[in-house]
Amino acid sequence: MAGVEKAGGLRPGRWLLGRGWWFLPALLASVLALPWVFGERWYSDTPYYQAIATQMVRDGCWWSPMQGDLHYFNKPPLAFWIHAGFIEAFGQRDWSTHAPEAIFFMVACVLVAWLARRFHGPLVGVLAGCALALTNEWIWRVGNFKLDALHTVLLLSAIACWVRAFVPAKSGWPGDGLGVGESKRTPAEGGACWGILAGVCLGAALMTKPVFGLGAAALIVLWLGMIGQLTRRRLGLVGLSVLVGIALAAPWHVSMILRHGSAFTSAYIHEQTLQRALGEMHDHQPWDWYLRLIAGTVPEAQQAWKMWPLYGLAALGLCVRWRAASGRGGDVLVMLWTVGWFVAMSVFGGKRNYYLMVMHPGTAWLAAIALGALLAGLARRWNPDGVRKLTGAAAVVGVVAIGGVLAHVPHTVRKAIKELPVPERNEFMAFVRSQRTLGREVYDCGLSYRIDALTYIETGYWPRCASERTGVPPDKVPAGALAAYRDDMLAKGVFGTYVDPKDRLVFRSSPNGQYMVYQRHTDPAQPPTP
């Protein structure tokens, strides 16, 4: 950036808002994510997804994912490939399980910073990246294997490619309080290379979650129309991106249809796409569920109050720029992204708290707009040159503060690793490992798909199950084999299972533990073998 380097040397504050715009968001995100990378964190679907990725490496089933001896048809494989790649490169370690999500988190923060900087200048850009890095709903999910993190990064990447093709670069020091400078250069109208790269990102998004990636193309077309910039050339470039994306995603989808036929289409298209969109699956919630999630009035709202400052600043930023939105492309884009995804997720029948991750880059950007306006107002009262001094000083203070947090990270990591082991669960896995060496089959008759997956990760054996989330009825377990139950599942009759009185209890984790294993009787007149 012109004027950053002076005779006296490089000023850290000005460098951080100039050429080093990416440094502060990336550093803050990496510091906050690091403690979540270490430790045995197996929340939500993490063990299930990680076991599928692990089996890719162990059994070589990269193209057609497997869960034990069953095919996995629910999701495309890109996120599993990435996790499997980490296992292949670094081995089965706790940190290699969670490292991909930490990287996605950092990349998302940098992308948001770049987009905000492109439209609103260096101050809002750095603030937007840091705001996303401080978003609680992203931080604690670094310990989760969630497709939504990678999916959001890919959608942001596609938007960034289109913006790079359509929007002149902004530079200069804050002049109107938000850091918008004069255009230094205007890129070629609708560069084809950026359109193709956006298509690559779309294709990768379609290989992460079904269909939703195309929403980014619809969003960018709507945005161009709302700001009066939807030319035939630009529409053609977006169309090229969509074609490239579909072409990249098609081979795997067509291959799976040809190989597995109705088994794939029933699970992938009918159940996971149509039924989930219509809310006909187990995760159906009413349209206002996300509003109640934000308010913290539903059980899934885990420490919702930690998000209220960000939502409050985002609402303030929305009000600050609402009147100017008709003439400012960045304002329209961030509003479309935030409100558009929120509405889309609310209309979508199936709802989960982590589905809102895709909205948070927009809330971080809006919060940065509000903070930028506030800083600029304070700086004007200080002196005419106050914006530069205030923002530069704030950037330096931010680096020092992050350094202090970074010094505390080793202690946080040690504490996380110490607190996470689950002895009773590990006892069950040790028993399964010992029985597996004797050649005995273990059947899931009332565990959970997460425990099945963890057992595979730790022992190399995936207990046999009837389907993804359904155990095997005890009467289907062969004589002499082992039938595994979880006490709370059995008591609730979740799977409609029962214990045959002729079966013999051969394992229970602790005297009143929840994991039980029975050996199926071989003959009503003969006692089970030990």
Each residue of 301-310: pLDDT tens digit?
778 888 888 8
| Range scoring the smallest mean pLDDT among 64-78, 106-120, 393-407 | 393-407
Q: Please say whether the beta carbons of 387 and 177 come within 8 A.
A: yes
- Predicted pLDDT of residue 5: 39
- Predicted pLDDT of residue 228: 86
CA atoms within 13 A on the CB side of 27: 19
Q: Using pLDDT thresholds of 50, 70 and 90, give the confidence band for residue 12.
A: low
As a whole number, mean pLDDT of residues 227-249 equals 93
Is residue 406 packed enough to be buried (19+ CB in 10 Å), middle (13-18) or exposed (0-12)? middle
- Best-predicted range by mean pLDDT among 37-46, 172-181, 262-271, 360-369? 360-369
More confident residue, 153 or 231: 153
DSSP 440: -
What is the total residue count of the chain? 530
Contacts of 202 (CB under 8 A, 6+ apart): 154, 158, 213, 214, 216, 217, 241, 242, 244, 245, 248
Distance of CA 279 to the CA centre of its chain: 21
pLDDT for 219 beyond 90: yes
Q: Please say whether the beta carbons of 233 and 192 come within 8 A.
A: no
Cα–Cα distance, 294 to 289 (Å, whole number):
9
pLDDT for 349 beyond 70: yes
**482-486 and 442-444 beta bridge pairing:** parallel
**9-10 and 504-508 beta bridge pairing:** unpaired
- Predicted pLDDT of residue 493: 52
Helix axes 386-419, 360-382, angle to 10 degrees: 140
Q: Using pLDDT thresholds of 50, 70 and 90, give the confidence band for residue 278.
A: confident
- Predicted pLDDT of residue 181: 38
Cα–Cα distance, 342 to 224 (Å, whole number):
20
DSSP 472: P
Q: Please say whether the beta carbons of 52 and 72 come within 8 A.
A: yes
What distances in angstroms separate CA 295 from CA 112, 170, 291, 367, 469, one per listed residue?
A: 25, 37, 6, 18, 31
CA atoms within 13 A on the CB side of 455: 30
Could you tell me the two tokens for 32?
């906050």
- Predicted pLDDT of residue 8: 37
CA atoms within 13 A on the CB side of 150: 25
pLDDT for 120 beyond 90: no
Q: Using pLDDT thresholds of 50, 70 and 90, give the confidence band for residue 24.
A: confident
More confident residue, 185 or 448: 448
pLDDT for 37 beyond 90: no
Q: How many CB atoms lie within 10 A of CB 505?
A: 12
Q: Using pLDDT thresholds of 50, 70 and 90, give the confidence band for residue 444.
A: confident
Cα–Cα distance, 10 to 1 (Å, whole number):
12
C-alpha triplet 199, 110, 152: angle, nearest 5°: 45
Cα–Cα distance, 266 to 255 (Å, whole number):
15
More confident residue, 222 or 281: 222
C-alpha triplet 234, 235, 237: angle, nearest 5°: 65
Which amino acid does the sequence have at 376? A
pLDDT for 524 beyond 60: no
Cα–Cα distance, 115 to 439 (Å, whole number):
57
- Predicted pLDDT of residue 78: 97
Q: Please say whether the beta carbons of 399 and 27 come within 8 A.
A: yes
Contacts of 492 (CB under 8 A, 6+ apart): none
pLDDT for 395 beyond 70: no
Cα–Cα distance, 261 to 373 (Å, whole number):
56
- Predicted pLDDT of residue 405: 60
- Predicted pLDDT of residue 446: 82
Q: Is 0.95 surpassed by the pTM of this model? A: no
Q: Using pLDDT thresholds of 50, 70 and 90, give the confidence band for residue 327.
A: very low
pLDDT for 186 beyond 90: no
Q: Please say whether the beta carbons of 4 and 19 come within 8 A.
A: yes
Q: Please say whether the beta carbons of 505 and 516 come within 8 A.
A: yes
User: Which of 283, 307, 299 has its CA nearest to residue 355?
Assistant: 283
- Predicted pLDDT of residue 394: 60
pLDDT for 165 beyond 70: yes
Residue 507 bridge partners (DSSP): 517
Residue 170 bridge partners (DSSP): 183
Cα–Cα distance, 349 to 328 (Å, whole number):
33
Q: Please say whether the beta carbons of 163 and 114 come within 8 A.
A: no
- Predicted pLDDT of residue 132: 95
Cα–Cα distance, 487 to 445 (Å, whole number):
11
Chain-wide mean pLDDT for the chain? 81
Contacts of 432 (CB under 8 A, 6+ apart): 442, 455, 459, 461, 463, 484, 517
- Predicted pLDDT of residue 497: 61
- Predicted pLDDT of residue 188: 42
pLDDT for 182 beyond 50: no
| Range scoring the smallest mean pLDDT among 20-29, 42-51, 164-173, 476-485 | 164-173
The DSSP H or E segment spanning 251 is helix 232-260
- Predicted pLDDT of residue 167: 80
- Predicted pLDDT of residue 46: 87
Cα–Cα distance, 109 to 130 (Å, whole number):
7
More confident residue, 41 or 161: 161
| Range scoring the smallest mean pLDDT among 32-46, 104-118, 145-159, 293-307 | 32-46
As a whole number, mean pLDDT of residues 378-392 equals 60
pLDDT for 272 beyond 60: yes
- Predicted pLDDT of residue 10: 42
More confident residue, 69 or 177: 69
pLDDT for 267 beyond 80: yes
Q: Using pLDDT thresholds of 50, 70 and 90, give the confidence band for residue 496.
A: low
What 3-state class would DSSP assign to 519? strand
As a whole number, mean pLDDT of residues 255-270 equals 92
Buried b (16+ CB within 10 A) or exposed e, 281-306: eeeebeeebbeebbeeebeeeeebee
Considering the chain, what percentage of its residues have pLDDT values greater than 90? 34
